[in-house]
Amino acid sequence: MSGVMTERPTERLNERPPLVVILAAGKGTRMRSDRPKVLHELAGLSLLGHVLALSEALGCAHPAVVVGPDMAAVEAEALRLLPGASICRQERQAGTADAVRAAERAIMAHDGDVLVLYGDTPLLTAPTCRRMREALGKGAGVVVLGFEPEDPTGYGRLIRDEAGNLLAIREHNDASETERAIGLCNSGVMGFDARTLLSLVAAIGNDNAKGEYYLTDAVAIARERGLVVSTLTCDEAEVLGINDRSELARAEGIWQARARTRAMRAGVSMQAPETVFLSHDTELGRDVTIEPHVVFGPGVTVGDGVRIKAFSHLEGARIAPGATIGPYARLRPGAEIGPDVRIGNFVEVKQATIAAGAKVNHLSYIGDASVGAKANIGAGTITCNYDGFAKHRTEIGAGAFIGSNSALVAPVRIGAGAYVGSGSVISKDVAGDALALTRAPQSERPDWAARFRRRHERAEGATADEADTNGGDEEGERD
């Protein structure tokens, strides 16, 4: 860390949560999308949602979210995820300093640190933000977060003197060839003392190539006023901004790698971690084993000792300890899988509770249902839950046995310990310990198959004789 040390302010304790100002007014035209850029998703959560989650992690439950005009969807997303957020509208997009001015009311009401973050930069971490706050607490009036990319083209450069003190930030379009050769770049993330932020912003002009008000100009103004200006650096991945879909895919890969590493360090085994995809809110217990090619959508909680076999897809499901899922299983929202349950290959479960020890091992659909403890659901069983207008429930009692290829037409109840014969279509309640069958009685016709084959063999022979009578094959004719 380096800084200009003239008239260093007294060090202060910044125990109060910071104010987080999130700039989210950009339309993101390079995304080629009808959706605002910050609403595109990373690990099942909008880019804006990741930055709001960071704000919460830093103790700021009331961030100022700066949006552009006609961005009702962005406003709604911010308030859905963090109801305490303050929506600030930037009527015209005239640069980052102009965007910060839009949050003036929130800044004026705050006494402490202000962190300016971006709604399209979802990988920034709380430890890095805390380092910025530490610098502010030691007397810095401005803190700039820098990084060293492989290719600095397009990024603003951090201009420092021989002692390493930050002099200014030069936007790429305004930089000289010498300045463009500098490898240390501006991430855009900045920290301020709220007491000075607005006065710095008010002094920023727009005499530059784009005619915009750059927040980065606050550095030179702060130096002129004798304020401490500090720089910190972080890994390039943390400040990766999302401008197009290729960068979104890159960010997804970085996020997934982080999440897999955290999971494995917490006691999860992954046989091929690069093939497992987690969601922003996936919760995994200890001694969970995840086989290759498993995808977690949002809202999945997995208990201790669960094994999730290959090629399974889970979303909105809770899995109790000791259960086995897959391979090729699909758990949809509302799936409640009890302890030691077995959900097998090509089984789909939706809005259903599967109680302890039950088995649904093969080729079945269990939807809008409850399955009792230690019940056995045979291969090919379907709960027929939808009549074209409404969903209806199926209740299967503890210890019931549902034979293969059965259709349970809801609403229907299968009592505890009942048996349903294979191939049955059950549309009425079945009492506990009863046997329900809807198959027609089996009949047998002796020697029918042999007679059937002989009849077809005679017909085929007659057809061949007719072909010979009509002139034989083409090869014989040529001879």
Beta strands in 246-345 (DSSP E): 269-270, 283-284, 289-290, 295-296, 301-302, 307-308, 313-314, 318-319, 324-325, 330-331, 336-337, 342-345
- Could you tell me the pLDDT band of residue 476, with boundaries at 50, 70 and 90? very low
Distance CA 125, CA 237 (A): 10
Which one from 172, 293, 313, 362 is the annotated catalytic residue?
A: 362
pLDDT at 58 over 70: yes
Measured distance CA(59)–CA(77) in Å, rounded: 20
462 is written with which tokens?
């007659």
362 catalytic, yes or no?
A: yes
Which of 100, 101, 109, 87 shows the shortest CA–CA distance to 195? Answer: 109
Per-residue confidence (pLDDT) for residue 443, from 0 to 100:
87
The domains located in the chain, with CATH, are 19-239 (3.90.550.10), 246-436 (2.160.10.10)
Task: Give the model's pLDDT for residue 68.
Answer: 92
What is the predicted pLDDT for the residue at 474? 44
pTM metric for this prediction: 0.87
pLDDT bin (cut points 50, 70, 90) of residue 6 is very low
Secondary structure percentages of the chain, helix, strand, coil, to 5: 30, 25, 45
Q: How many CA atoms lie within 13 A of 185 on its CB side?
A: 20
Most confident of 12-21, 148-157, 262-271: 262-271
